[in-house]
């Protein structure tokens, strides 16, 4: 009897807590020596200087009624907005970020870029939202 009551309390607590997680993102990178490799936030990815890459971003809304459009997702490279053809950023975005809706709660974009300068660059992906949002980094190490 106690285990059944305990299970119901835990299930109720989880059902109240889970909606707080507003966004989930999945990242996959393709380029020389890597094909559709999944990237975990916080990880360091080795890139070859002068090579082109594609970063697929899959954004899923956990709470299913997000008022913040995917276009409001911020991509910051070394604390500056990642902009198209900005060579001084060292990892050069090749085209504008365009989101595609794939399901009611899933959106995708593919960012193409060139690793043009050696060094380490931090890509911060951020969604500002009262329901929790999203804020994670991917580190590019260009050599």
**26-42 pLDDT, tens per residue?**
999 999 988 899 999 99
Q: How confident is the model at residue 19 (pLDDT cuts 50, 70, 90)?
A: very low
With pLDDT > 70 as the criterion, what percentage of the chain qualifies? 84
Read off the tokens for 52.
Answer: 């082109």
Would you give the DSSP letter of residue 84? B
At 10 the pLDDT is 59
At 8 the pLDDT is 64
Among candidate residues 116, 43, 41, the one with its CA nearest the CA of residue 85: 116
Mean pLDDT score, 119-136: 92
At 135 the pLDDT is 94
Domain boundaries, the chain: 21-142
Is residue 55 classed exposed, middle or buried when 0-12, 13-18 and 19+ CB atoms within 10 A define those classes? Answer: buried
The pLDDT tens digits for 65-84 are: 778 899 999 999 999 999 99
21-142: CATH homologous superfamily? Immunoglobulins (2.60.40.10)
Torsion, Cα of 66, 69, 72, 73 (10° steps): 60
Q: Reply yes or no on whether the pLDDT at 64 is more than 80.
A: no
Q: Reply yes or no on whether the pLDDT at 102 is more than 80.
A: yes
Number of Cβ within 10 Å of residue 23's Cβ equals 22
Place of tokens 């090579």: 51
């Amino acid at each position: 009897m106690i285990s059944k009551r305990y299970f119901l309390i835990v299930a109720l607590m989880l059902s109240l807590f889970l909606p707080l997680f507003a966004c989930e993102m999945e990242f996959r990178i393709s380029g020389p020596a890597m094909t559709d490799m999944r990237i975990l936030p916080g990880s360091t990815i080795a890139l070859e200087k002068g090579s082109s890459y594609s970063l697929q971003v899959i954004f899923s809304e956990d709470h299913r009624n997000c008022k913040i459009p995917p276009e409001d997702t911020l991509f910051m490279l070394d604390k500056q907005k990642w902009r198209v053809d900005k060579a001084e950023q060292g990892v050069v975005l090749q085209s504008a970020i365009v989101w595609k809706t794939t399901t009611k709660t899933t959106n995708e974009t593919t960012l193409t870029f060139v690793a043009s300068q050696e060094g380490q660059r931090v890509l911060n992906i951020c969604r500002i939202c009262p329901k929790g949002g999203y804020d994670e980094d991917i580190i590019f190490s260009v050599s």
